[in-house]
Structure 1
Amino acid sequence: MVGNLAVGGTGKSPLTEYLIRLLKKDTRIATLSRGYGRTTKGFRRVDTSSSAREVGDEPLQFKRKFPDIQVYVCENRCYGIEQIKASCDVILLDDAFQHRKLKPGFSVLLFDFQSLMNPILMLPTGNFRDELSSAKRADCIVITKCPTEISDFQRQQIERKLRKYSNAPLFYSTIAYDMAQDLTGHESQLNLNGTDVLLLSGIANPKPLSDYLTAQGCRIELLSFPDHHQYEEKDYKQILSRFEQMKGKDKIILTTEKDIQRIDTTLFKEMPLFYIPIRIQFLDQKQEEFDLLIKNYISSRMR
Structure 2
Amino acid sequence: MRFVDFLLFPFALIYDGVTALRNRMFDVGLKKSQPFEVPTVVVGNLAVGGTGKTPFVEFLLNRLSSKFNLSVLSRGYGRKTHGYRLATETSSPADIGDEPFQIYSKYKNKVCVAVGEERILAIPMILAENPVVEAIVLDDAFQHRYLAADLNILLTTYQKPFFSDYLLPMGRLREGRKNVNRADIIVFTKCPQNLSEKDKSIYKEKTAAYLNSAKPIYFAGLKYGAPYALGKGDFSLGDNIILVTGIVDPEPIRLALENKGKRVLEILAFPDHYAYKAQDMEKIKGIYKIHSAKNVTILTTEKDAVKLKDNRLLELIPDIPVFVLPVEVEMTRNEEEQLLNRVESLIINKNAESEI
Question: TM-score, normalised to structure 2's length?
Answer: 0.79
**For the structure 1 residues 238 and 283, does the alpha-carbon distance in structure 2 shift closer, same or farther, using more than 3 Å as the test?**
same
Equivalent residue, structure 2, for 1:244: 289
Alpha-carbon displacement from aligned partner over 1:48-107 (angstroms, at most 9, x marks no partner): 442212211100001000112211111111111121134211111000000111111111
Alpha-carbon displacement from aligned partner over 1:141-196 (angstroms, at most 9, x marks no partner): 111011123345533332223223152211111000011011279xx974x5xx12
Q: Which amino acid aligns with 1:178?
A: G
**For the structure 1 residues 149 and 118, does the alpha-carbon distance in structure 2 shift closer, same or farther, using more than 3 Å as the test?**
farther
Quote the offset at 1:252 in angstroms.
0.7
Q: 1:110 aligns with which of 139, 155, 177?
A: 155
User: Gapped runs of 5+ residues in structure 1?
Assistant: none
Equivalent residue, structure 1, for 2:300: 255
Work out the percentage of aligned pairs sharing the same amino acid: 35
Question: TM-score, normalised to structure 1's length?
Answer: 0.92
Quote the offset at 1:270 in angstroms.
3.3
What is the CA–CA distance in structure 1 between the aligned matches of 2:250 and 2:189, rounded to whole Å?
15
What is the CA–CA distance in structure 1 between the aligned matches of 2:289 and 2:85, rounded to whole Å?
40
Equivalent residue, structure 1, for 2:45: 4
Q: 1:205 aligns with which of 249, 252, 259?
A: 249
What is the CA–CA distance in structure 1 between the aligned matches of 2:91 and 2:319, rounded to whole Å?
24
- Structure 1 residue 167 corresponds to structure 2 residue 214: yes
Q: 1:33 aligns with which of 64, 67, 74?
A: 74
**For the structure 1 residues 268 and 48, does the alpha-carbon distance in structure 2 shift closer, same or farther, using more than 3 Å as the test?**
farther
Do the aligned residues in 2 keep the contact of 1:143 with 1:173 (CA within 8 Å)? yes
Q: Where in structure 2 are the equivalents of 1:70-109 lying within 5 Å? A: 70-86=112-128, 87=130, 88-109=133-154
User: Which of the two has greater helix per residue?
Assistant: 2
Q: Where in structure 2 are the equivalents of 1:62-77 lying within 5 Å? A: 62-68=103-109, 69-77=111-119
Q: 1:179 aligns with which of 218, 226, 229?
A: 226
Equivalent residue, structure 1, for 2:262: 218
Do the aligned residues in 1 keep the contact of 2:231 with 2:322 (CA within 8 Å)? no
Equivalent residue, structure 2, for 1:47: 88
- Structure 1 residue 123 corresponds to structure 2 residue 172: no
What is the CA–CA distance in structure 2 between the aligned matches of 1:153 and 1:26, rounded to whole Å?
35
Q: 1:196 aligns with which of 240, 254, 260?
A: 240
Q: Which amino acid aligns with 2:335?
A: K
SS in 2 for 1:261: helix
Quote the offset at 1:285 in angstroms.
3.5
Q: 1:271 aligns with which of 311, 317, 320?
A: 320
Aligned CA-pair RMSD = 1.9
**For the structure 1 residues 31 and 184, does the alpha-carbon distance in structure 2 shift closer, same or farther, using more than 3 Å as the test?**
farther
Do the aligned residues in 2 keep the contact of 1:172 with 1:284 (CA within 8 Å)? no
Quote the offset at 1:284 in angstroms.
6.7
Quote the offset at 1:201 in angstroms.
0.7
Quote the offset at 1:133 in angstroms.
1.2
Do the aligned residues in 1 keep the contact of 2:245 with 2:301 (CA within 8 Å)? yes
Alpha-carbon displacement from aligned partner over 1:243-265 (angstroms, at most 9, x marks no partner): 11114331111000010011133
Do the aligned residues in 1 keep the contact of 2:73 with 2:116 (CA within 8 Å)? yes
